[in-house]
Amino acid sequence: MQQPPSDHDFGPSAQDEAALRAHASDATQDPVTLAAATWFSRRQQLDAGELAAFETWLAQDAAHGRAYAAMQDTYSQVRQIPPEIAARWKVAPATAVSAPRRHWLRAWPYAAAAMLALSVGVGGYEWSQQQASFTQSYATQRGQRLAVNLPDGSSLLLDTSTRLNVSLYPRKREVQLLQGEAMFQVQAKQGQPFDVFSGPLRVTVVGTQFSVRNTLPYDGKLSVAVQQGHVRVAGESHSQVELLAGQGVQADAAGQLSSISNLPPDSVAPWRNGRVTVDNLPLGQVLAEFERYGDTGLVLRDPAVARLHIGGSFSLTQLDGFAAALPHLLPVQVVRSNGRSEIRLAPKVQDQRPSAQLAAPLPTPR
């Protein structure tokens, strides 16, 4: 025989009897549910004959067992609901039963009604936990940044050309990063994990500072970098990695994760300080990064020039300085034509194919 994991019974207070009677009247439209609630409310008071009748009732139909199990589940869920929520229903666990048996014969309909009321209450509570208490979409245009303070105490900083959606639920917090990059400072809240979804990636945190970048339309990459705290990054095929402060990982459009990389402290979302930091990347990719923030006025037509690798930290607000520094960093020249500046191979290397990377370390323009 099935037994619930408790020795308490439910009974209504005097002021609740009318409401419970009305609820029980509605519930009698389903006789199996009402019978299950009745048996469950009397489970501690059955004599031998009634116990045999209960077991016969269970054996009559599988639906009886399912209905009784639902009552057990309801009871279990009630015990997990915060007291301040359960108190609103004005139906609480009673003390150990010591009343005469005739009292229970008179009171069990109300106890059954209480169980039915709790079934509805639990269902409503569970439904409420799945409804967002806050939803908002945020976006920045090219060259813009946006700081956002969320109701939970977390804060976001959106980089250029970024779109994301925020949804806060009683038991979880979610952000959908559709495009661009954002820096997250998450307020720790027990029982409310903070998840960032972007493409095939899911980043789960409790309290930390980290950035998530989605540039799939530009370079086919997703990246996560942690400045403080600890995050879990999950990709496709159940692959996942744990990142600590000063670590990062990349993923492709299929959600395949790269190996973990170590990051300099100032390389996490350097755009917050108006800079772009690159580490041995093709010049064409670096220019594409600059173009995300605004028109550079620089043109690349020669694929060989676009493949030249460069590294350093560059100002987003001093593009003229970047263009002026290029001939000192790479075997190129910048030729002004029709209001644009084309980056070409320097004359002495016009007939050569440049190597994939300069041998000497590159200075950092400021």
Could you report the per-residue pLDDT of 156-185, keeping only the tens digit for each?
999 999 999 999 998 899 999 999 999 999
- Regarding whether 341 and 254 lie in a shared domain, the answer is no
Q: Is residue 362 part of a domain?
A: no
- Regarding whether 154 and 223 lie in a shared domain, the answer is yes
- Regarding whether 325 and 280 lie in a shared domain, the answer is yes
pTM tops 0.85: no
- Regarding whether 254 and 143 lie in a shared domain, the answer is yes
Query: Residue 124 burial (CB < 10 Å; 0-12/13-18/19+)?
Result: exposed
- Regarding whether 296 and 225 lie in a shared domain, the answer is no
Q: What is the pLDDT of residue 361?
A: 36
- Regarding whether 261 and 151 lie in a shared domain, the answer is yes
Last residue of a domain, one of 222, 252, 267: 267
Q: What is the pLDDT of residue 100?
A: 43
- Regarding whether 151 and 255 lie in a shared domain, the answer is yes
- Regarding whether 110 and 40 lie in a shared domain, the answer is yes
The pLDDT > 70 percentage for the chain reads 69
- Regarding whether 108 and 191 lie in a shared domain, the answer is no
Q: Is residue 252 part of a domain?
A: yes
- Regarding whether 339 and 284 lie in a shared domain, the answer is yes
Q: Is residue 358 part of a domain?
A: no
Say what angle helices 17-27 and 31-41 make with each other, to 10 degrees. 140
Last residue of a domain, one of 212, 247, 267: 267
Q: Is residue 364 part of a domain?
A: no
Q: Which residue has the higher pLDDT, 192 or 16?
A: 192
176: nearest Cα among 202, 149, 210, 205? 202
- Regarding whether 152 and 41 lie in a shared domain, the answer is no
- Regarding whether 298 and 245 lie in a shared domain, the answer is no
Identify which of 9-18, 329-338, 351-360 has the greatest average pLDDT: 329-338
Tell me the β-bridge partners of 195: 174, 204
pLDDT in tens, 80-102: 555 555 555 444 443 333 444 44
pLDDT in tens, 277-319: 888 899 999 999 999 998 888 999 999 999 999 988 899 888 8
**Rounded to whole angstroms, how far apart are CA atoms 177 and 173?**
13
How many domains, the chain? 3
Q: Is residue 180 part of a domain?
A: yes
Last residue of a domain, one of 206, 240, 267: 267
CATH number of the CATH domain containing 280:
3.55.50.30
Q: Is residue 8 part of a domain?
A: no
pLDDT in tens, 8-67: 333 334 444 444 444 444 444 577 877 777 777 776 677 777 788 888 888 888 888 787
Q: Which two tokens stand for residue 73?
A: 């589940």
Q: Is residue 2 part of a domain?
A: no
Mean predicted confidence (pLDDT) in 134-155: 95
Determine the structural domain holding residue 234 and report its residue range.
134-267
Q: Is residue 327 part of a domain?
A: yes
